[in-house]
Amino acid sequence: MKPRHLGALAALVIVGVIALSITPRGPDGEASNSAAPGPPTLDLPSPFSLTDFVERHEGEEISVTGDVASQCFSNCTLRLHGFSGVTVAGCMFEGSRIHVVDCVNVSLAGNVFRDHYVWEDPAVLIQGAHGLRFTGNMVVNNSVGMVVRGGSDLELSFNVFEANDQHNAVMGLDSHGAAVHNNVFRYNYPHALMVMNREEDPAVRLDIYENLFELNVEDAVNFEDFRGAAEPTMVRRNIVNGTGQAGINVEYNSWGANIVIEGNYIADNGMLTDELLDEEGRPTRLYPSHLHQPEPYSEGWRHGVKLEDCSGVALVNNTISGNAGSGIDCVNARDVTLVGNMVSGNGVGVSVRPYDEEALIREFSPLLEEDAGVSCLSVSDNVVEENERDWYVEEGCRVANQTD
């Protein structure tokens, strides 16, 4: 295929917005038997379709040098390398991908990225970009939705990420300033967001807020090997609902994670059970069954928030209710702070346990023996009640300043 170059075109893209109409109320921990606060009101994008195109492309390698609008790309690769101030808007990417590398002030707005099912190959690759705006797009039915590596001043907002089902909707995000807000994440496997900071870069900064995470297959927000950031990573005012395994998971040697999980509504997670799966591990209901499902699904942990082999995590003023396992599950988790949370209607309210010996021999990011220990929590002003069991604390673990 001979590479092509696309230059300046213009488009105005309008993205619909819907709202969940329940206003939050934060738990104050002062009264028992109080009703759990409902979810926050969120402004969220509506799905849309694109039908009118000025040009169509099939099976091409295209180098982008200027603005691109209202194009349809089938089985194409667009490459935007080293440019500034470029906009790609209102385009359909069918079985196609885009690479944005070492660019400044690029906007991807109102596009549809769909049906790019190539093993471990993202529909959208963002690498070393600064000032990127990824707004009002649909990223659906891909093997990997989006990979973000490095860069700074990034914004992912008002997008729909749905059924990216081989390896996550969005992964990476080891950026020097990234805001992920007002997006819808639904039916992604295994995670909606998988966030990493394996290089322990102190300048990594993230703010994940006012998103809807609904019916993702394993963990909705997953931090793996996330460590060393100097400023807190914020996870705030999100709705995390109907996840197959854990709503929010901080794991795999995320020591000194410096994560604040605040004001979220984390409810009814741990939905993936053996009863939902057929003999081939495909869901028969609740979650979609994809013909290209990469592996059999299986029942796993079923928690609201799971903290394992990590430290430096604070949970503040969250509503954590109706989760099949524990509302908050701590395994070899240290320097954990729980303040002002409402934890009710879960299998166990708060579970506090030492390390799992199998973590020492796991294939990915095994636990070092020197890091194997007990969980240590500091808690205050939480309401932990009306769970099947409110507290489960194993011998040797420490829960300090408990005023619940």
Tell me what the mean pLDDT of segment 60-64 comes to: 95
**Which residue is it, tokens 């009002």?**
136
Contacts of 370 (CB under 8 A, 6+ apart): none
Q: What is the pLDDT of residue 402?
A: 58
**Whole-prediction pTM value?**
0.90
- The answer, yes or no, to whether residue 299 has pLDDT greater than 70, is yes
Average pLDDT, the chain: 90
pLDDT of residue 12: 32
pLDDT-derived band at 127 (thresholds 50, 70, 90) equals very high
Mean pLDDT of 160-186: 96
Q: What is the mean pLDDT of residues 143-161?
A: 97
The pLDDT, as a whole number, for residue 284 is 87
Q: Which of 232-236, 275-279, 399-403 has the highest mean pLDDT?
A: 232-236
Confidence band for 403, pLDDT divided at 50, 70 and 90? low
CB 60 within 8 A of CB 68: no
Q: How far apart are CA 68 and CA 397, in angstroms?
A: 57
Which range is least confidently modeled, 90-99, 369-378, 394-403?
394-403
What pLDDT is stored for residue 15 in this prediction?
36
Q: What is the mean pLDDT of residues 88-116?
A: 98
**What pLDDT does 298 receive?**
82
pLDDT at 3 over 70: no
In the prediction, which pLDDT does 295 show? 82
At residue 286, the pLDDT reads 86
For position 14, what pLDDT does the model report? 32
User: 31 pLDDT exceeds 70?
Assistant: no
Is the per-residue pLDDT at 312 higher than 60? yes
Q: Pairing relation of β-strands 71-74 and 92-94? A: parallel
Domains, the chain, with CATH or none:
4-24+40-291+299-400 (2.160.20)
Compute the C-alpha angle 280/138/273, nearest 5°: 25
Residue 276 has pLDDT above 50, yes or no: yes
Mean pLDDT score, 266-272: 94
% of the chain exceeding 70 in pLDDT = 91
The distance from CA 354 to its chain's CA centroid, rounded to whole angstroms, is 26
Reported confidence tier of residue 32, pLDDT bands at 50, 70, 90: low
Half-sphere exposure of residue 348: CA atoms within 13 angstroms, side-chain side = 17
Q: What is the mean pLDDT of residues 106-132?
A: 96
Which pLDDT score is estimated for 123? 98
